[in-house]
C-alpha cells in the first residue's frame, strides 16, 4: 500500500481547512470553549471502526485520547445536534466529491459501460423514541440507508436516508444523468417503470426476474426447443409443455414483460445452478452471453459485502442516539468511514494493476475491506496524530502506517473464497495446499 495514497485519502476527505470552513458555516463552535471541532469530526470518522461500544461512546473515548479537553458525558453528547449534522453533511459531500473524481477499474467486458452501479438498501434499528420520525416495518424505529455503489471504484457513490417502513422502489429514479451507466439492482427496486427508464436513457441493466412478471417469448436464440411456438407464447407454458426444455444448458430469449403501454422488450437469460435455474432480464447486447450475464449479477454481492462492512466494522448498527440530528450525524460518520476504506482499497488495486496476461496466477493476497477497516480502527489514534504532522516526520509516519495497513488488511480467505471481480480481472486463484500435520510419537 502506497504511503502517498494513504495520506491523500485521509487528508482529502478530512482536510483541516475544509473542516474549519464547514464548522464556521454551521456555527458549530460559537459558544463551546472546550470543543475542538476538527478533532471531534476526525474522531467521528476514524473511530467509526474501533468497536469498543456504542457509536457516541466510541467517539468520546477517541476524542479524549486525541487530546480533546475532558467534558462530562452529558455535555459531550449535547454537541450532537443540528449544527453537527450540518457539518457532517459537508464532510459527506467532501468524501463523495473525491470518490467522483476517481478513475474506474472495470475489467474486460465490464467496461462496456462507464461504470456499473449497484443499488441496495440496509436497515438500521434506532431508539424507540424515534419511532414517529423513522417508523420501521413493525412496532419499532428504523432508518433505511439507500446506497449507490460503484463497481469501478469499489465504494459508495451516493446515498440517502428514509424511514424503514417506506418501500424501496420509489427511491430509485433513473434519469438522463444515468446515461452510459449500468445498473445492478435488488428486486426491491425492480419495476417495469425502471426498465422503461433504463431503455429511454441508455442505461444497461441486469436484474432478477420477478415471479409476478410473466414473460412472453418472441424468439429463442439459445436453448433446447423441441417444437414450434407462436410469437408471444407464455414462458411458463412453453416449459410446462416441454416445447422449451430446461436441460441444464443456458437459455437466451427475446421476451416482453408487462402489458399495453407498460410493456418492455428485453433479453431473458437463464443459467442452471445447484439450486435450480436463475432467470435474469437484461438489455445487454447478444455478444455478452448468459454465463457472463450471470457472472455480472454475482458482482452485485459487492454491495452486500459493503453493507456488512458498514455494520460489522463501521458500527452503523450500534447507533443509540435519541434524536434525529445525532442519528444522522453518526450515520454520515460511519458511511464516510466506510468510503475511506473503499478508497484505500481502490488506490491499492490500481497500483497493483491487472495481470499482464489473462489466467496469470495470483501469488499475493488482495486487500480485503473488512480486514482493512479493522486495521484502521486499531491505528485510529496514530492516523489522527499523523494528520497533524508536517515535513519529513509526516512522510515517515505515513509510510509506517501504509505498511501496517497493508499487512493487516490482506484477505485471509483469498484462496478459498476468491472474489468474483478478482476472477473477472483475469487472475487465476488456485486453492491453497493443505498443511502437513506433525507426526505424533
pLDDT in tens, 7-25: 999 999 999 999 999 999 9
Strand blocks (E) in 223-263: 224-225, 233-234, 244-245, 251-257
Assigned domain for 242 exists:
yes
The verdict on 282 and 307 lying in the same domain is no
Within a domain: 140: no
| Beta pairing class for 182-185 and 204-208 | parallel
Residues 348 and 387 in one domain: yes
Note whether 411 and 334 are same-domain residues: yes
| Residues 251, 221 share a domain | yes
pLDDT, average across residues 49-75: 83
* 327 and 378 part of one domain: yes
What is the C-alpha to C-alpha distance for residues 321 and 318, in angstroms, rounded to an integer? 9
In a domain, 261, yes or no: yes
Is residue 369 within 8 A of residue 302, CB to CB? The reply is no
pLDDT at 239 over 70: yes
Question: Is the residue at 130 inside a domain?
Answer: no
* Inside any domain, residue 41: yes
Instruction: Give 114-124 pLDDT, tens digit per residue.
Output: 999 999 999 99
pTM, to two decimals: 0.91
Pick from 120-134, 376-390, 396-410: least confident: 376-390
Q: Which domain holds residue 261?
A: 206-288
Q: Is the same domain home to 269 and 377?
A: no
- pLDDT confidence bin for 426, thresholds 50/70/90: confident
Residues of the chain above pLDDT 90, percent: 73
Exposed, middle or buried, 439 (CB in 10 Å: 0-12/13-18/19+)? exposed
| Average pLDDT of the residues of the chain | 91
Q: How do 251-257 and 216-222 pair as beta strands?
A: antiparallel
* pLDDT score of 113 more than 90: yes
Same domain for 264 and 312?
no
In a domain, 439, yes or no: no
pLDDT tier for residue 440 given thresholds of 50, 70 and 90: low
Position 361 scores a pLDDT of: 83
pLDDT band at 437 (very low <50, low <70, confident <90, very high): low
Report the C-alpha gap between 376 and 409 in whole angstroms.
9
259-281 confidence digits (pLDDT tens): 888 899 999 999 999 989 999 99
CB atoms within 10 A of CB 303: 24
Domain boundary among 257, 288, 319: 288
CB 152 within 8 A of CB 167: no
How far apart CA 329 and CA 144 sit, in angstroms, is 15
Same domain, 334 and 398: yes
Q: What is the pLDDT of residue 205?
A: 97
Whole-number Å distance between alpha carbons of 48 and 58? 8
Query: How big is the chain, counted in residues?
Result: 441
Q: What pLDDT, on a 0 to 100 scale, did the predictor assign at position 52?
A: 65
Alpha carbons 186 and 171: distance in angstroms, whole number: 12
| The last residue of a domain, from among 263, 288, 313 | 288
pLDDT more than 70, % of the chain: 96
CA atoms of 352 and 365, how far apart (whole Å): 11
DSSP conformation letters of 9-34: HHHHHS-HHHHHHHHHHHTTTSS-TT
End-to-end CA distance of the chain: 44
Q: Is the pLDDT of residue 53 over 70?
A: no
What gap in Å lies between CA 273 and CA 171, rounded to an integer?
31
**Residue 354 within a domain:** yes
Residues 283, 337: one domain? no
pLDDT in the model for residue 66 = 82
Q: Note whether 246 and 319 are same-domain residues.
A: no
Angstrom distance (rounded) from CA 302 to CA 391: 38
Q: Are residues 11 and 84 in the same domain?
A: yes
* Domains identified in the chain, total number: 2
The answer to whether position 144 is within a domain reads no
By CB atoms closer than 10 A (0-12, 13-18, 19+), residue 317 is: middle
- CA nearest to 231, candidates 249, 253, 200, 207: 253
pLDDT at position 47, please?
78
Do 255 and 228 belong together in one domain? yes
Is residue 307's pLDDT more than 90? yes
Amino acid at each position: 500500500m502506497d504511503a502517498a495514497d494513504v495520506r491523500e485519502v485521509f487528508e482529502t476527505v478530512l482536510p483541516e481547512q475544509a473542516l474549519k470552513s464547514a464548522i464556521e458555516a454551521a456555527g458549530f463552535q460559537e459558544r463551546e470553549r472546550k470543543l475542538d471541532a476538527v478533532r471531534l469530526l476526525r474522531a467521528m470518522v476514524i473511530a467509526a471502526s474501533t468497536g469498543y461500544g456504542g457509536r457516541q461512546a466510541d467517539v468520546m473515548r477517541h476524542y479524549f485520547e486525541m487530546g480533546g479537553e475532558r467534558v462530562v458525558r452529558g455535555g459531550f453528547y449535547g454537541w450532537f445536534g443540528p449544527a453537527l449534522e450540518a457539518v457532517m453533511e459537508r464532510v459527506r459531500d467532501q468524501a463523495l466529491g473525491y470518490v467522483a473524481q476517481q478513475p474506474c477499474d472495470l475489467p474486460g467486458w465490464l467496461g462496456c459501460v462507464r461504470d456499473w452501479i449497484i443499488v441496495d438498501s440496509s436497515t438500521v434499528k434506532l431508539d424507540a423514541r424515534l419511532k414517529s420520525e423513522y417508523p420501521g416495518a413493525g412496532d419499532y424505529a428504523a432508518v433505511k440507508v439507500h446506497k449507490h455503489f460503484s463497481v469501478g471504484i469499489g465504494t459508495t457513490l451516493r446515498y440517502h436516508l428514509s424511514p424503514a417502513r417506506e418501500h424501496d422502489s420509489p427511491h430509485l429514479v433513473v434519469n438522463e444523468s444515468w446515461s452510459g451507466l449500468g445498473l445492478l439492482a435488488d428486486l426491491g427496486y425492480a419495476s417495469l417503470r425502471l426498465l422503461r427508464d433504463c431503455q429511454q436513457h441508455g442505461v444497461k441493466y441486469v436484474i432478477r426476474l420477478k415471479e409476478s412478471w410473466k414473460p412472453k417469448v418472441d424468439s429463442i436464440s439459445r436453448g433446447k426447443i423441441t417444437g414450434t411456438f407462436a410469437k408471444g407464447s407464455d414462458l411458463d407454458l412453453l416449459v410446462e409443455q416441454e416445447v422449451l426444455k430446461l436441460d441444464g444448458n443456458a437459455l437466451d430469449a427475446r421476451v416482453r414483460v408487462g402489458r399495453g403501454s407498460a410493456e418492455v422488450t428485453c433479453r431473458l437469460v437463464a443459467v442452471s445452478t445447484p439450486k435450480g435455474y436463475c432467470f435474469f432480464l437484461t438489455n445487454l447486447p447478444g455478444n455478452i452471453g448468459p454465463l457472463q450475464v450471470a457472472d455480472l449479477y454475482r458482482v452485485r454481492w459487492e454491495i452486500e459485502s459493503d453493507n456488512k462492512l458498514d455494520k460489522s466494522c463501521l458500527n452503523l448498527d450500534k447507533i443509540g442516539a435519541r434524536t434525529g440530528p445525532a442519528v444522522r450525524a453518526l450515520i454520515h460518520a460511519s458511511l464516510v468511514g466506510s468510503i475511506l476504506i473503499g478508497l484505500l482499497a481502490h488506490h491499492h488495486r490500481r497500483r497493483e494493476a491487472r495481470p499482464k496476461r489473462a489466467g496469470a496466477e495470483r501469488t499475493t493476497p488482495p486487500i480485503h475491506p473488512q480486514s482493512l477497516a479493522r486495521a484502521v480502527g486499531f491505528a485510529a489514534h496514530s492516523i489522527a496524530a499523523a494528520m497533524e504532522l508536517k515535513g519529513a516526520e509526516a512522510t515517515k509516519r505515513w509510510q509506517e502506517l501504509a505498511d501496517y495497513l497493508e499487512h493487516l488488511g490482506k484477505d485471509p480467505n483469498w484462496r478459498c473464497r476468491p472474489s468474483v471481480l478478482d476472477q473477472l480481472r483475469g487472475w487465476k486463484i488456485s486453492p491453497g495446499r493443505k498443511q502437513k500435520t506433525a507426526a505424533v510419537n
